[in-house]
Structure 1
Amino acid sequence: MNTAALVFRAGRVRCGAKVKVTNSGLFAIGGLVSGILLSTAAVVWAATSVARQRPIASSLLRRRQR
């Protein structure tokens, strides 16, 4: 069992949180974070595919933005 605690104070306001996670839970969290990062990379790759496949189209887009 892994435990983490956080206490935040700002003036008279105080907030606290405590979390307990098992080793398998940490493994699951790591898998979720990895999936999010990989899917973000796939979205960026798809969004920039026009510039990679059609250099003339990407140069026209740059001209139009100026």
Structure 2
Amino acid sequence: MPNLPVPISEPARQPVHHRARASIGFGRRARMRASVSVTSGGIVSVAVLVSSILLSTAVIVHTAGKTARRTRAD
């Protein structure tokens, strides 16, 4: 069996972090500051969760409207 070269594996890449900061003030005393750091995978996860919540809310509203129409017709 011939000696085949062993492929050199690349070191694992660190995930890219997306960072954001925001601050808002109300008058002279009230101030709020927020910061977030999220990876690209985290952004995709949040997008999937938000879209599933919106889709399920649309189904609930549609079903509730159908029930309300049926109740009024009786």
State TM-score, norm by structure 1.
0.70
Aligned residues: 55
Q: 2:63 aligns with which of 26, 46, 50?
A: 46
CA distance in 2, matches of 1:3, 1:42: 34
Q: 1:3 aligns with which of 12, 19, 42?
A: 19
Q: What stretches of structure 2 of length at least 5 have no aligned partner? A: 1-16
The alpha carbon displacement at 1:13 in A equals 2.5
**Greater per-residue helix proportion:** 1
Does structure 1 residue 31 correspond to structure 2 residue 48?
yes
CA distance in 2, matches of 1:15, 1:42: 36
Q: What stretches of structure 1 of length at least 5 have no aligned partner? A: 61-66
Q: Percentage identity across aligned positions?
A: 38
Q: Deviations over 1:19-61 (max 9, x none)?
A: 001000000000110011001011011112243xx5x81xx6x
Stretches of 4+ moved more than 2 A in 1? none
